[in-house]
Amino acid sequence: MRERGGGQNRAPMLRGRRSTGDGIEMFEKLYKWTISLANSRHSTWALAGIAFAESSIFPLPPDLILLPMSLAQPKKAWFYAAVCTAASVVGGAAGYAIGALLYDTLGQWIIHLYGYASKIDALRVFYAHWGWAFILVKGMTPIPYKLVTIVSGLLGYNFALFMVLSLVTRGARFFLLAAAMNRFGDVFRHWLEKHFAVFVVGLAAIIVLGFVLAAKLA
């Protein structure tokens, strides 16, 4: 990928790497798409949209686009983290509303999809004492954040406290990623050029792990 703006806009280059299977090729195409999107004029809106949707209905984490955008423009990593945090918290409010107002339709479908339907009663008891920990800890993990937001609305957790906790946990996650990219971006970029297949397989594994944990842990 060519540099723009005096070398400030940089992104990992795929140098002669070939996919070893259909799955790797799929993730390679996805990554190339995020790289091209990171350098487009719609990148900030796309990042905000994905972060918003991930907190309510979308299965993929915003890290998929936040990472290449932070590598492409390291000086804007903090701005991107702020956008991601704000959009994720607003999306969390939408997820809360789904749980509180639309559980019998959309909310119930999502809860069943991720295997939480049989755990609602246990979650209700747990939330009464440890709801704040549930939000803070799971907001930092690969577990889809929409489950946290929908369950919080379903169980009637204090909305103001929910928003504060969401701001803390989502901000910590995205700003830590931005700090890592800002500090070690060059190292990661060079590693990525040589080990792209390892990266996409690892990224896929993290996403799958999040869904597995969501189904098994409550």
* Average pLDDT score over residue span 140-158: 82
Give Cα 81 distance to the centre of its chain.
11
Give Cα 162 distance to the centre of its chain.
18
Which residue carries 């107002």 as its tokens? 101
Q: How far apart are CA 63 and CA 97, in angstroms?
A: 24
Per-domain boundaries in the chain:
74-216
- pLDDT on residue 128: 83
Range of lowest pLDDT (66-75, 95-104, 154-163): 66-75
Amino acid type, 176: L
Q: How far apart are CA 142 and CA 169, in angstroms?
A: 12
Each residue of 38-51: pLDDT tens digit? Answer: 777 888 888 899 88
Amino acid type, 111: I
Q: How far apart are CA 97 and CA 101, in angstroms?
A: 6
Q: At 9, is the secondary structure helix, strand, or coil?
A: strand
Which range of 6-15, 109-118, 120-129 scores highest in mean pLDDT? It is 120-129
* Average pLDDT score over residue span 19-38: 63
